[in-house]
Structure 1
């Protein structure tokens, strides 16, 4: 069962039943425009996965696992609505549908960055509260502060390959350059996350000798200065 379908059902159940209530099969069928028989089959699958509790002729309710997943999707949806409204200035009558299409592809990392960019909004443009994130913090503002500190610390740890001392080892964090540079380095096996050691740097801005996956490589100083690493 596609993850997107699971998320759609969990959201629908949450909207109708909340945390502890029960939603009827006909209610979910009407909301998602599916046949009741198909909805029942999905309920049974979701129950096997631990997302819901389902009883024939009574309805469906969310388990703790299902509730957390539904809440997470609501958070993504409402953050996207704020983004579409405040940043892109789309008409309010259109943002719900757009957010529905985007929420299933929004990664957790992007969600965190989006919340930070929007300065931790507490409600969507329609006035509904935005659920808190999963971090162990009191509120979104505290989360943003912690994320900022973490990012600043990481940025301080990143330096150019040519700044390493002889014999030091680090991982490639990112590369600055156009498509040609990126392709050339990729062909050499120099991609993000690759462990790299500086063996020797020739004087007077000469070439740089490095070790990658046990192999020695010599690259020009200009290329080496475009490679940024993080010490391991």
Structure 2
């Protein structure tokens, strides 16, 4: 393994932690053991290692929470996995029962440049075949249109903070809108609601939310955001 490269095993752990606790929720050792198919004792040893690396905060007998650095890595590998699932299903038309396992094998080898090219080819998808949100890229753009206009990958820099879409939020949040994904039509629909990069954002989590809408406050105005839009408006976390 090259210097600075993260092992596939670590990426798998961080990916499962993200899937179960993307919004800062504590994920139990039992849940990790079940999802990874690994004995609880082995999971505990790895969690201690991940904490020493600075990727998680771990409390024995309770569970683990991703740190900011752990979240960054977990989002990147999760994004690659879900984009690959879309590619395998919609372009290569692989049998659905094989898609997840093949994406797992491919995600670790997919370069950031190839990930970006796939995203552009698939027209910046927002959900994978299982209807899970595709995380935002970690490139320092405000929108997909900015990404399209930058032809030289070597000139792209990474964003210095993490993002979550509105539809991924599972707790109260006060922050700012920092990335909006989608084509011109979706961007126009979002702009019509006066939502823009830098808008003040407030969300009060409601476990009993009804329907496919999120009640949020943006620049002081209460808005019901449909889920298709919420999947593509990203908040700084």
TM-score, normalisation: structure 2: 0.59
CA offset at residue 41 of structure 1? Answer: 0.5
Instruction: Choose from 54, 72, 77 the match for 1:73.
Output: 77
* Moved >4 Å (runs of 4+): none
Answer whether contact 1:120 1:141 (CA < 8 A) is retained: no
Structure 2 residues not aligned, in runs of 5+ = 154-237
Aligned residues: 150
Instruction: Choose from 87, 90, 94 the match for 2:94.
Output: 90
SS at match of 1:101: helix
Instruction: Choose from 28, 33, 40 the match for 1:29.
Output: 33
**1:125 to 2:123 alignment:** no
Q: How many Å separate the matches in 1 of 2:62 and 2:55?
A: 17
CA offset at residue 59 of structure 1? Answer: 0.9
Aligned to 2:22: 18
CA offset at residue 56 of structure 1? Answer: 0.8
Structure 1 residues not aligned, in runs of 5+ = 152-232
Aligned to 1:142: 146
CA offset at residue 47 of structure 1? Answer: 0.5
Aligned to 2:170: none
Q: Name the one with the larger helix percent.
A: 1
Q: How many Å separate the matches in 2 of 1:126 and 1:141?
A: 26
Q: How many Å separate the matches in 1 of 2:25 and 2:46?
A: 19
CA offset at residue 126 of structure 1? Answer: 2.3
CA offset at residue 23 of structure 1? Answer: 0.8
RMSD, aligned α-carbons? 1.9
CA offset at residue 74 of structure 1? Answer: 1.0
TM-score, normalisation: structure 1: 0.60
Aligned to 2:11: 7
Rg larger in 1 or in 2? Answer: 1
Q: How many Å separate the matches in 2 of 1:111 and 1:20?
A: 26
